Amino acid sequence: MVGRERLFLCKCVALPGPELSFRCFTCHDRGFLRDELDKEHPDFGKAIPCPECALKQQPERTLAASGLPEGAERLGFSFWNRKSNPGCQGAFKAALAFAEGKPPLWLCLLGPPGLGKTHLACAATCRLAERNQAVRYISAPHLLAHLGSLSFPEMSQERERLKKVETLILDDVGAGSLSAWNWGLFEELLDGRYLPLRRTLITSNLGLEAFPPRTRSRLTAISCHIEMMEGLDFRQGKGL
């Protein structure tokens, strides 16, 4: 290819000010380019996706595929109030390191409601997506409801996907009344991710002693870092 000429596929709208403002200065936000080719060339006039736009859109696609609830993308690390609840700062640092691809490989955030465990889980999901790392966020109650709505073959496939996704963020484990089957499902997911050391973040309102022995054994393994969060419930206008 000799070079590339911008392909104007839509009307260019001027924004206020002396100059146009574009997110992408390669294609002027049109999303496509065309090659400078002779008219006789079979690819003459064909639109080519802009490579710069494709790179910028990858994190957006990763986040969209993560399962993060609508609106939760605003719960980033930058919105965490570091001056409040000093008993939660270790969890903040550990979640940030986890999201940046640093140790720990497994992270478990435990503590009573209202301390920001879900905030940190969502923030980690957003940061991983920004880094274009495959991540799946799901709350434990939603996971159980979701699996219960599937046929057996579909359920088996979904469980395998959760075992193999690059990073799994499982929020609010232990919420509600859980049966032995529910705990067995969580243990199966953890077992499937344990030996391959696939990155996993878990949050729970339960204390470690409330987990079944097998689950507790996985969470106290050398590859898992546990942060006990303490402080005031920010939902009551205090704390975070």
Convert the pLDDT of each residue in 151-208 to its tens digit. Answer: 999 999 999 999 999 999 999 998 877 888 889 899 999 999 988 989 999 999 999 9
Per residue in 219-240, pLDDT (tens digit) is 887 678 999 998 877 766 544 4
Looking at the structure, do residues 216 and 155 belong to the same domain, yes or no? Answer: yes
Confirm whether 58 is domain-assigned: no
pLDDT of 8: 37
pLDDT of residue 17 exceeding 80, the answer is: no
Confirm whether 55 is domain-assigned: no
- C-beta of residue 169 within 8 angstroms of C-beta of residue 121: yes
Looking at the structure, do residues 72 and 44 belong to the same domain, yes or no? Answer: no
Looking at the structure, do residues 78 and 147 belong to the same domain, yes or no? Answer: yes
pLDDT of residue 140 exceeding 90, the answer is: yes
Helices (H), the chain: 51-64, 89-99, 117-130, 140-148, 152-164, 180-194, 213-219
Contacts of 94 (CB under 8 A, 6+ apart): 104, 107, 109, 225, 227
Least confident of 27-41, 84-98, 112-126, 141-155: 27-41
Confirm whether 17 is domain-assigned: yes
Per residue in 69-90, pLDDT (tens digit) is 887 777 888 887 766 678 899 9
Looking at the structure, do residues 101 and 177 belong to the same domain, yes or no? Answer: yes
Domain count, the chain: 2
Percent of the chain with pLDDT over 70: 75
Looking at the structure, do residues 224 and 127 belong to the same domain, yes or no? Answer: yes
pLDDT of 20: 46
Cα of first residue to Cα of last residue in the chain, in angstroms, is 55
pLDDT of residue 11 exceeding 60, the answer is: no
Looking at the structure, do residues 44 and 83 belong to the same domain, yes or no? Answer: no
Looking at the structure, do residues 22 and 110 belong to the same domain, yes or no? Answer: no
Confirm whether 129 is domain-assigned: yes
Looking at the structure, do residues 36 and 71 belong to the same domain, yes or no? Answer: no
pLDDT of residue 46 exceeding 80, the answer is: no
**Could you tell me the CATH number of the domain that includes residue 172?**
3.40.50.300
Looking at the structure, do residues 25 and 119 belong to the same domain, yes or no? Answer: no
Confirm whether 57 is domain-assigned: no
pLDDT of 154: 93
Least confident of 4-8, 37-41, 43-47, 182-186: 4-8
Q: What angle do CA 39, 40, 45 make, to 5 degrees?
A: 45
Confirm whether 114 is domain-assigned: yes
Looking at the structure, do residues 171 and 97 belong to the same domain, yes or no? Answer: yes
Q: What is the rounded CA–CA span in Å between residue 121 and residue 111?
A: 13
Tell me the mean pLDDT in the region 126-142.
Answer: 91
Confirm whether 41 is domain-assigned: yes
Looking at the structure, do residues 15 and 71 belong to the same domain, yes or no? Answer: no
Name the band, by pLDDT with cuts 50, 70 and 90, for residue 56.
Answer: low
Looking at the structure, do residues 89 and 10 belong to the same domain, yes or no? Answer: no
Q: What is the rounded CA–CA span in Å between residue 170 and residue 149?
A: 19
Q: Which of 203, 15, 40, 29 lies closest to 112, judged by CA?
A: 203
Residues spanned by the domain of 3:
1-49
Average pLDDT, the chain: 80
Which amino acid is located at 158 in the chain?
Answer: E
Name the band, by pLDDT with cuts 50, 70 and 90, for residue 1.
Answer: very low
pLDDT of residue 97 exceeding 90, the answer is: yes
Confirm whether 229 is domain-assigned: yes
